[in-house]
Amino acid sequence: MKYNEIVYVAVMKLLEKYSEDINKRLDEEENDVLLNILSIIDDELLENIREAIVSPGTDPFLNDVLNLLELPQNSSEIEKINPTFFKRAVVIVKLAVVLEADKSLDFDKDIEFPVESFKLISDSGPKLPFASFGVVNASSLKDSIAYFNFNDPDWQQQLDQSKFNNQLLGCALNVLSESETLDFTHAYILVRDDASLGEAIEASLRLQAISHGKTIHLPIESTVKPSLNAVTLISALNHYQQFNETLLILSEFNARSDILNKFLSLYHVIEGFMYKIPLVDLGASNNGKMFSIRDFRRLYNTVDVYETEAIKQTFKIFWDVKIGAIAFSKVVENAIKSTKSLPGYVASDMDALLAKLEVFEVNGATQLSNGCTAAKYSLLIYKVRCAIVHNSETELHISHFNLSRTLIYLLDEIIMKPLESLVFKLISDRTSRVWYSGPSLQLY
């Protein structure tokens, strides 16, 4: 099959169909717009196409077909005839225009691609954050694959951002031209026609996409903004250099908009404080003297505990820290109560989530609202961290594919916003439990 047969025959067939349908419509009622369209199709466009089929190498003209279809006064009338066919016609012509504009393409050349061995199937997997993607497998042409979301207005512009070539586009155009039953309400995958399992096809597409550096999830952004609660405490007289590593992590926190990575950055800061507080306490109790073996043994016994116990003891220390005029515990309480009134919050979803996280067995939303303790809040934070970094083969896994509105509120409103205000208060206030008494702690 030659390229001119793929490109021009596809457009010719749809224009012949429009010529037939418009004639039928005009037999029923007069319509000057449709009459003018019919005249252009029959007297100009079809003649040009037939000539291009037998005499490849003519000047490009398919943009004229696209302009005819998309001219507002025309499209409103043409679409009324058959809305689904109109969408199909626009897609076919746009693909044809892309191929016709490829100056490196010899239209009189046979396509070196098994175009008859492909099909289009609906993609029922999680919505992808791109409108077009294609990759040619040079080692096995039948394992080439492509994706189109024709409902996205950017699908044509994104063709250049992927691994499409004129062979894969020619194949897509040929299959589209032959697939008269597509309704264009779905995204579609172009795949070898002997592939039968939809889930395997969808997974193959997504593996190819991420192998080429794309993301396959819709990013969910955090709404956390700087609380600015501690900025008035910052002074160049204070030795903030002891927090240099923490500042770098907080810079990453600010740079990340993705809700899960943002949470993990904040957790890393809390994790650092868990192990810094015993060092601070040791330094304060030693009055600057050289540490003894017994001091180091006592320090080791302090930090050599389960992480759940370490984070619980840390939050018992933080629970009464003043954030502005109120204690951190009150900040958490207010966040929990206000979250319940946010649009899309579902108490039963929170119950199920807290049960899966093993924070509460039943009625977790109610128990959380009736008085969250430092122990329960620290357990909640730790369990969320584990659910993000661990995989679903062993336990609950939180990912962008299962972030419900209620879970987003739990991360953003109940955990990260209070923690952000706490962290900056602890760093800015030199009297807090995370500050060394001197510029740094010297170990000998």
Cα 316–chain centre separation:
36
Query: What's the confidence (pLDDT) of residue 181?
Result: 84
CB atoms near residue 194 (< 10 Å):
9
Look up residue 238 and give its two tokens: 């204070």
Lowest average pLDDT, out of 183-197, 231-245, 286-300, 319-333, goes to 286-300
CA distances from 425 to 17, 82, 435 (A): 71, 63, 12
Give the burial class of 213: count Cβ atoms within 10 A of its Cβ; 0-12 exposed, 13-18 middle, 19 or more buried: exposed
Query: What's the confidence (pLDDT) of residue 444?
Result: 45
Round to whole Å and give the CA distance between 330 and 323.
Answer: 9
Contacting residues for 311 by C-beta, under 8 A, at least 6 apart: 270, 271, 274, 378, 379, 381, 382
Q: What is the mean pLDDT of residues 135-143?
A: 96
Is the distance from CB of 209 to CB of 405 less than 8 angstroms? no
Round to whole Å and give the CA distance between 244 and 249.
Answer: 9
CA distances from 183 to 69, 78, 153, 187, 313 (A): 18, 17, 16, 10, 59
Exposure string for 340-359, b = 16+ CB within 10 A, e = fewer? eeeeebeeebbbebbeebeb
Round to whole Å and give the CA distance between 143 and 191.
Answer: 7
Round to whole Å and give the CA distance between 138 and 140.
Answer: 6
Query: What's the confidence (pLDDT) of residue 84?
Result: 92
Model confidence over 31-78: pLDDT tens digits?
999 999 999 999 999 999 999 988 877 788 999 999 999 999 999 999
Characterize the bridge pairing of strands 187-192 and 145-148: antiparallel
pTM of the model: 0.81
Contacting residues for 135 by C-beta, under 8 A, at least 6 apart: 144, 145, 146, 162, 163, 168, 208, 212
Whether the per-residue pLDDT at 102 is higher than 80: the answer is yes
Look up residue 428 and give its two tokens: 């800015």
Round to whole Å and give the CA distance between 406 and 345.
Answer: 5
pLDDT band at 161 (very low <50, low <70, confident <90, very high): confident
Query: What's the confidence (pLDDT) of residue 122?
Result: 95
Report which residue type is found at 30: E
Look up residue 362 and give its two tokens: 């039943």
Round to whole Å and give the CA distance between 280 and 65.
Answer: 75
Report which residue type is found at 212: H
Look up residue 169 and give its two tokens: 């586009």
Whether the per-residue pLDDT at 390 is higher than 70: the answer is yes
CA distances from 145 to 34, 74, 166, 289, 296 (A): 39, 35, 13, 68, 60
Is the distance from CB of 177 to CB of 16 less than 8 angstroms? no
Round to whole Å and give the CA distance between 220 and 261.
Answer: 10
Output the CA angle 253-257-258, nearest 5 degrees. Answer: 100
CB atoms near residue 97 (< 10 Å):
19
Q: What is the mean pLDDT of residues 172-201?
A: 93
Round to whole Å and give the CA distance between 44 and 295.
Answer: 94
User: Taking the domains of the chain in order of start, what are their residue ranges?
Assistant: 1-103, 111-218, 231-428
Q: What is the mean pLDDT of residues 139-157?
A: 95
Model confidence over 205-228: pLDDT tens digits?
999 999 999 999 988 999 999 999
Model confidence over 233-257: pLDDT tens digits?
999 999 999 999 999 999 999 999 9
pLDDT band at 293 (very low <50, low <70, confident <90, very high): low
Round to whole Å and give the CA distance between 276 and 194.
Answer: 60
In the chain, the percentage of residues whose pLDDT exceeds 70 is 93
- Category of 358 on φ-ψ map: left (φ > 0), alpha (ψ -120 to 50) or beta: left
Output the CA angle 62-67-71, nearest 5 degrees. Answer: 165
Round to whole Å and give the CA distance between 256 and 304.
Answer: 32
